[in-house]
Chain A
């Protein structure tokens, strides 16, 4: 729009943007951009949080790559992203397809959403009760099949249980998002597909997926970001009041905590912890850019 044609009303409306925008920008600068920049700066130092920082160049980063605990945390983070992510989306689609044709679907939807509403800490405590040695699950298995107790929570199985727990916690949210996308698809596409003899999988592939693609790609990005931030479920499920979970189940968020404030006798390695956080931020930024390119499609109008 040419400058000359801007009305007085339009001009004053534009001026009004500034007071609305400034507080948000300031808050964002102080609480998000600032700390991120500080973390990058701290990551080049050795720092116990109190005394002078000592310049360490890329020392923290090279040490991270040699640290088996960090490599485990990195692998665990990627496992959560990929394995739990695939499971969440597959289950979400299956549930969407089933619930779409159910009678009390808004009620079912609420039930599915429920785990996402309840605090992850509470759920992790419940999971502890369910799966510990003489917990509910082993008791039921014993009553029904006379099975020996299964060590769900021992060192070998703990991470698998965390993956399952993460899927269970998160699926409700993605079912809800995907279902909202699917609900917008006019029913006559499905009627048409049915008349053409399409089965459920074909309907998914030729109707549901293409017509809800924008919603799915947003959900995928959303999952990528939130998977990096998963913390409290692992912390509370794997650890105790004063103790961190075993390092074998740490993800990158727990690694940051474990190397800074976490545990009975914290490590206070703030430079090292910041370096790991920065490295993960960089890795996930790249992942998200790639993901956005891969998921990009012409958006369909209907």
Chain B
């Protein structure tokens, strides 16, 4: 292992750089040396204290402290915890444990080798159970949590599956026979439109939500990894193909047929998904957090069901993502942090992510909330693919500056599939030329 000596002047440079970019408040002091009570570690959480996941974790931290005598200095930092980690990596004030979606972690600390390989954690026995962490998690989620070299940079504790949501109480026919192919789906949408309803909901001001549609359609026609490969190609040669054309045309037709609810391009999130929950639109393509996020606006009789994004004849994978723990390389208390990871994987504690926070966990033996039964069945039965085919994580700059704006124009009917192909080919060539 290469030992990196961090010189003080570089810490100053790092600090100064952070200040320059206007984030003077980024680093938060936390690593006080507690002393007498023995071991302790610092955890920068992606949750805010009021969120259900934070409550579940806080409860586990309490019992962990009682059971092991290890003190956990937890900071409920919210979603920019990894940004703060990045700023802290060149200081002495680095947390021992962080959590986030896999691509946020990999984007920040994997490419630059700033993580600790957690393979050892997988071999640890789960406190209170007869099996190891690796046994409990299986290798189903390794595609999200391992590097190309097979190192585990993440131990997942929450799974997100992306599926098309609808109210089964309002649409019993769909519930009985959910569409599996794009043609079936198109027929359902046409029927809904003909009946005077709004077939689709989409908060278009979140470019990432719009991207789910196009990215998944491309994965369906090209296979998992196909969209990723298209974007990685500096010549952008792959866009002009029958497969991409099929996917993009299908997406363009959604706008051309006015399937999206009026105002989807000019509202503020979460206005449109709220309308969907209130029955003003039929389908919403969203992660498995959809029921918790929209529940308070839905009628009591609203019955959350969902089906997999329809197939174009080939790929039937379920787009997914995981949230998990990671340990930054400079962490002083990696051992204690690892111990907590294994401790939290206990079915009773991890089960709270399902029973209290209403989300899916990576353990197949934990009961899931009723609302997530469909998507859980898909998680268990289907091959998984990365949401946005991994493009958001691996090519984030290209994604937000080139793909997402063009995709939004495609999905608002401003450009056709052909125009999209022509524009993205040039824009992608220019982008990569500029990167060189």
Contacts and interface: CB of A to CB of B under 8 A. Distances in A.
A265 B392 contact: yes
Interface string A262-280: 0111111110011001000
B180 interface: no
Contacts of A151: 263, 265-266
Contacts of B271: 132-134
Interface in A44-94: 47-51, 63, 66-69
B400 A263 contact: yes
Nearest to B261: A133
A244 B108 CA distance: 18
A269 B269 CA distance: 28
Contacts of B20: 35-36, 38-39, 42, 274, 277
B434 interface: yes
Contact of B396 (A50, A238, A247, A267): A267
Interface residues of A, number: 58
Contacts of A66: 430, 433-434
A266 B396 contact: yes
B332 to A, nearest CB: 18
Contacts of B397: 259, 267, 269
A260 interface: yes
B68 interface: no
A154 B269 CA distance: 13
Contacts of A67: 434
A263 B208 CA distance: 10
B400 A247 contact: yes
Interface in A10-57: 31, 34-36, 38-39, 41-42, 47-51
Interface in A121-178: 128-129, 132-134, 149, 151-155, 157
B399 interface: yes
Contacts of A7: none
Contacts of B87: 49
Contacts of A260: 21
A246 B107 contact: no
Contacts of A266: 83, 107-108, 396
B400 A258 contact: yes
5 contacts: A51-B112, A134-B267, A153-B268, A155-B265, A247-B400
Given A151-B266, A240-B206, 6 more contacts: A39-B20, A49-B90, A68-B427, A134-B263, A155-B412, A264-B392
